[in-house]
Copies of this chain bind each other. A is one copy, B any other.
Amino acid sequence: MELVFISIGLGLLAVIYGFVTSRQVLGASAGNEKMQEIAGAIQEGAQAYLNRQYATIGMVGVVVAVLVGVFLGVIPAVGFLIGAILSGVAGYIGMNISVRSNVRTAAAAETSLQSGLTIAFRAGAITGMLVAGLALLAIAVFFYVLVGQMGFAANSRDVIDGLVGLAFGASLISIFARLGGGIFTKAADVGADLVGKVEAGIPEDDPRNPATIADNVGDNVGDCAGMAADLFETYVVTVGATMVLTALLLTQLDDLLMPLMALPLLIGGACIVTSIIGTYFVRLGKGTNVMGAMYKGFLVTAVLSIPLIWFATAHALGTAGTDMNTVLNPGTGMVEFTGRDLFYCSLIGLVLTGVIIWITEYYTGTNYRPVRSIAKASETGHGTNVIQGLAISLESTALPTIVIIAAIIGAYELAGLIGLAYGATAMLALAGMVVALDAYGPVTDNAGGIAEMAGLDESVREKTDLLDAVGNTTKAVTKGYAIGSAGLAALVLFSAYTADLNAFADKLGLDVVDGRAAVNFSLENPYVIVGLLLGALLPYLFGAMGMTAVGRAAGDVVKDVREQFKEKPGIMDYSEKPDYARTVDLVTKAAIKEMIIPSLLPVLAPIVVFFVIRWIDGSASAFAALGALLLGVIVGGLFVALSMTAGGGAWDNAKKYIEDGNHGGKGSEAHKAAVTGDTVGDPYKDTAGPAVNPMIKITNIVALLLLAALAH
C-alpha cells in the first residue's frame, strides 16, 4: 500500500502545482478595459456552454449510474460517478483557466514574446497537470479505499468492476465533451468563416462578425475542455486497464500482485514529477523558435522519465523482495518476463510518443512536403486542394500505424500482453506534458483574437500570431498522440475482455475447454468476420454523424449572422454592436442537441450486436462477434481518426503557409482554395477525428460491463 500512498502524494503534487501556477497566471495583468470586456464575453459564453453541457450530460450520467448500480452493484456505480465527476472537473477547471489566461497572454505579449509564451504555456500546464493529477488521484484513492479500507482482495471482482466503472464514467463524459465541444467549436468556426471571410469580406476575429465570440468560445470548449476530458479518460482507462489486466492474467504471482497492480500508478506519479520539471524548460533561446521551446520542455520530461521509471519499477519489485532481473512466471500460457522487460516496455511507450509526435509534425508542419504539396495544389483551385488534402490524409496513416505495430510486437515479445499494457501506461504517463502543449493552443488562439478585436498594436498581433502558429501544430501533435495511445489502450481493454470471458465462462453458460471459455475468436469463424465488419463500420457512421452535425450547425450560424447583418445594418460601420450572445446561445443549443445520438452509438452498438447474434446463433457466437467488434472498432477507428486529424492539420497549415506569402499569399486564388481546404479540415480534425478516441474505448468498456452484467 506504500506504493499507492506515494502515487497519491504525487497526484496531489500535480494539483498543488496547478493551484500555485494558476495564482501566478491570474496575478498577471489582464490588459485594458476593452480587452477585459471581450475576454468577459468569451468567459461568459464558455461558462454558459459548459453549464448547459454538463447539465445535459449530468442527466444522462445519472440514468447510466442507476443502470450500472442495478446491473452491476454499488461499487461500479460509485466508480462511475467518481470517473464522471472528476473528468468533468478537469475539463471545467482547465477551461476556466484558459478563458482567463487568453487576455493575460495578449497583455503579456505587449511586453515581450517570452512573457506571452510563459503565460500561455503555464495556462496549458495547469490543465495538463490537473488532468494527470486528478486522473491519478481518482484511481489511486479509489483503489486504496477498496483494498486498503474496505479490505477487498486486489484482484477481487469488486475491485476489477469498480475500476471498469471508473473508466466508464470518465469515458462517457469524455465522448460527450469531445463531441459537444467539437461540434460547438467547428460550427462556430466554419460558420464565422463562411459568412465573415467569404461573404462579408471581413477578416478573421473581426469584432463586426457576430459569430466571432462564439468562435473564440469554441476554441476553449473544444480544444481545452474537450481534450482535457479526452486525455483524462485515456489516462484512467489505460492505467485502470493495466491494473485490471494484471489482476486477471497474472494468476501465479501472489506476493508480487499488489506491487505490480500499484506500479502503473507509481509510473504515472513519477512522470508527474518529470512533467513539472519539464514545464520550466519551456523557454525561448536567442531566436523566436517557439516550437523549439516547447520541444525542449517535452524532451526534458521524456528523458528524465527514463531513470525515474527504472527506479519506480525496481522499487516496486523490491517491496516484494525481487529485483529487476528475476524471471517472473505469471501463469499458464503467459509470456515470462522480468522487471527489466517491463522497464523496456515502458521505454517503448516513451519512444513511441516521441516518434508519433515527430511524424505528426512532419504531416502537419509547414516545413515539409505534405503541407507544401497541398499549398501547391491550391494554385489550380478548390478541387485540387481538397484532392491533395484527402490524399495526404489517407497517406498520413501509414507511418503511425507502422510504428504502433513495431511497438506492439516489441512490447509483446518482451513481456506479452502485460508488456503492451506497460507501453501504453508509459505513453499516458506523459499526458500532463502533452496536454500542456495542447491546452496552450486555445489560449494563444484567443489571445490573437482579443488583440485583433481590441485593436491592439500591430506588433502585438504579430507576437500572438507567432505564438498561435505553433498552437496549430501542437494541437495536431496532441491528437496524434491521443489516438496512438487510445489504440494501445483499446488493445489492452480487448485483452481484458478475453480474460474476463475466461474468468466468467461458467456464469455465462459457456463451455470451458482447458480452463478457457469455448469462444472461437479465430478469423475462420464467420461471426468474427461479422464482428470485425460491424466494428469497423462504427467509426465511419460516427464520423458521418459528426460531420453532418457540424455542417448543419454551421448552416444555422450562417443564417443567424446574415439575419443580424440585415437587422442591424450599422454593424458594418461599427455604429451598432452585434448580438454575440445570441450566436453563442444558438451554437450552444445546436451542439448539445447534436452530440446526444452519436455519443450513444458506441454505448448501444455492442449491446445490440451481442443480443442479435445471440438470438441468431447462441452465446458463443455472440461473444465471438462482440470481441471481434471491439477489435474492428480499434482497427477501423485508428485509421479514421489518424487520417482525419492529420489531414485537417495539414489543410489548416497549408492555408497558413500561403498566408505567409507563398503561392500568391493572402487574397490570391490559391488562398481562397486553401480556405476551402481549411474549412473541410475543421470538422475532420476537431470534431469527428478526435471524438473517435473515446468512442473506441467506450465500445470496449461497454463490452466489459456487459460481460459483468450478464455474469451477475
Contacts and interface: CB of A to CB of B under 8 A. Distances in A.
A471 interface: no
Interface stretch (A44-52, A454-462, A550-558): A550-558
Contacts of A398: 537, 540-541, 544
A505 to B, nearest CB: 14
A86 to B, nearest CB: 31
A679 interface: yes
Contacts of A11: none
B540 A639 contact: yes
A529 interface: yes
Interface stretch (A216-224, A266-274, A324-332, A401-409): A401-409
Contact of A543 (B394, B532, B632, B683): B394
Contacts of A397: 537, 540-541
Given A524-B521, A540-B397, A388 B533 contact: no
Counting every copy of the chain, the complex holds 2
Interface in A625-676: 627-628, 631-632, 635-636, 638-639, 643, 675-676
Nearest to A491: B529
A541 B395 contact: yes
A153 interface: no
Contacts of A417: 526
Nearest to A186: B387
A565 to B, nearest CB: 15
B555 A380 contact: yes
Interface string A523-537: 110111110111011
A526 B386 contact: no
Nearest to A543: B394
Contact of A544 (B382, B395, B533): B395
A336 interface: no
Contact of A676 (B383, B413, B523, B555): B383
Nearest to A525: B521
A383 B636 CA distance: 26
B523 A528 contact: yes
Contact of A386 (B388, B527, B676): B676
Contacts of A636: 536, 635-636, 639
Given A387-B679, A391-B551, A551-B391, A381 B198 contact: yes
A377 interface: yes
Contacts of A536: 536, 635-636, 639
Interface string A474-491: 000000000000000001
B190 A409 contact: no
A250 interface: no
A420 interface: yes
B383 A680 contact: yes
A527 B397 CA distance: 19
Given A398-B540, A524-B495, A524-B521, A404 B683 contact: no
A495 to B, nearest CB: 7
A520 to B, nearest CB: 8
Binding site of A, secondary structure by majority: helix, strand, loop or mixed?
A: helix
Nearest to A683: B387
A36 interface: no
A420 B684 CA distance: 37
Contact of A554 (B380, B394, B631): B380
Contacts of A391: 543-545, 547-548, 551
A632 B676 CA distance: 33
Nearest to A644: B390
Given A377-B551, A676-B382, A394 B194 contact: no
Contact of A522 (B382, B521, B635): B521
A392 interface: yes
Interface in A405-455: 405, 408-409, 412-413, 417, 420
Nearest to A195: B380
A610 to B, nearest CB: 14
Nearest to A530: B405
Interface in A267-320: none
Contacts of A527: 409
Given A547-B391, A548-B391, A679 B383 contact: yes
Contacts of A495: 524
Given A382-B382, A398-B541, A408-B530, A388 B548 contact: yes
20 contacts: A194-B381, A382-B679, A383-B680, A387-B679, A390-B680, A391-B551, A394-B541, A394-B544, A397-B537, A401-B533, A404-B533, A405-B530, A408-B526, A413-B616, A413-B617, A523-B628, A529-B631, A532-B631, A532-B635, A632-B635
Nearest 5 A/B pairs, CB to CB:
A383-B679, A391-B547, A395-B544, A394-B544, A382-B676
Given A194-B384, A380-B554, A392-B544, 9 more contacts: A382-B382, A386-B679, A397-B540, A413-B616, A523-B627, A532-B532, A537-B639, A635-B635, A676-B676
